[in-house]
Amino acid sequence: MLQQITKPVGMKLSDWKLTRTKAETIKDQHFTGQPWSTKLFIGSKSFYKMITDENGQLLISDKATLKFAKNKDIENWFYELLKNTRAKIQSNNFSSAIKSLDLLNKIKKNNKEVMLLGAYVKYTTNKNHEAWSLLCKTIALFPMFDKAYFLRAQLLQKIGKTEQALEDLSLCINYSNEKSIPVSSTIKILIQENENARALRMIEKHKIVFTGTSQIIKLADLYLQMNKITEAKDLLFNQLVKKQKSADLHLAIGKLAVHLNQTELIWKHLYQAKNLGNTEGAKLYTQLKNYGELKVAA
């Protein structure tokens, strides 16, 4: 196995020979039942690999302590391992990710990205108390780490602490260079909590521009609930110029026309919604046709 591991770039041949000799000693001690049990210096990824078995288990005693070098080889290995760990988490391979996180913590203690990944794994696997503790520790060590506030906000919302979640999102926005995700999350929570005035203030403060038809319809509905009919009308009709075949958009304009008391618009846009396959539009159009009036929620 030692023959398959190559010398790290930049390492002197004499140092490499000493490294291999030490690895052989550690392996011999393991197989003779007297595993290495004192402090062990890890100077390279290659050396670490040489003293592990095919399953990645170290061939040393649990009593042994590891100290990793602060050199380019270890640094590159750390970030390679960090990248691989993220991939494992994204594919929900949490058991393997946890082992990688343990090694990352040994290489660099209290690294904020590693701590965040560890908290995310705990959050995703419903270990909420452990996730909370780790996130609080991370924030205490790195009080301007926006991603930690964002994940803690998700956790707080998950356990029903909505107002506290909004506070953490606010801190995330303050410290983040990329504000769109925490701002969008804040707006979503505010709408869910029927805090429409706060949601609109957030939209206007951060100059949020909506391009998707469904988003624009929701925003127009917010304006309607705040009795800002002109703003709702401008949003919907501007979008109609781009999306003339949107059944949902025609339905929304038909409902808006009820607020505007414009009969011709009601007929026109409910008819279009019906023809474009919108079930609610067809129902309202039939109601209007048969009874001459609509029952549309204000």
pLDDT digits (tens, 9 = 90+) for 244-264: 999 999 999 998 988 888 888
Q: Percent of the chain having pLDDT more than 90?
A: 66
**What does the pLDDT read at residue 4?**
66
Domain residue ranges in the chain = 1-16+34-50+64-91
Asked if the model's pLDDT at residue 80 lies above 90, the reply is yes
pTM of the model: 0.77
> Would the pLDDT of 169 be above 70?
yes
Using the 8-state DSSP alphabet, how is residue 245 labeled?
T
- Contact assessment for residue 229 and residue 259, using Cβ atoms and an 8 Å cutoff: yes
Query: Which 3 state secondary structure label does DSSP give 18?
Result: helix
Residue with tokens 């409910």: 270
Q: What percent of the chain has pLDDT over 70?
A: 96
What are the pLDDT digits (tens) for 23-71? 999 999 999 999 999 999 999 999 999 999 888 899 999 999 999 999 9
In 3D space, the residue among 280, 238, 260 whose CA is nearest the CA of residue 270 turns out to be 280
User: Rg of the Cα trace of the chain?
Assistant: 30
Q: Which residues pair with 41 in a beta bridge?
A: 67
Work out the mean pLDDT of the chain and round it to a whole number: 91
Backbone angles phi, psi at 36, to 5 degrees: -55, 130
CA distances from 76 to 9, 37, 50, 71, 134 (A): 11, 27, 18, 9, 26
**Would the pLDDT of 298 be above 50?**
no
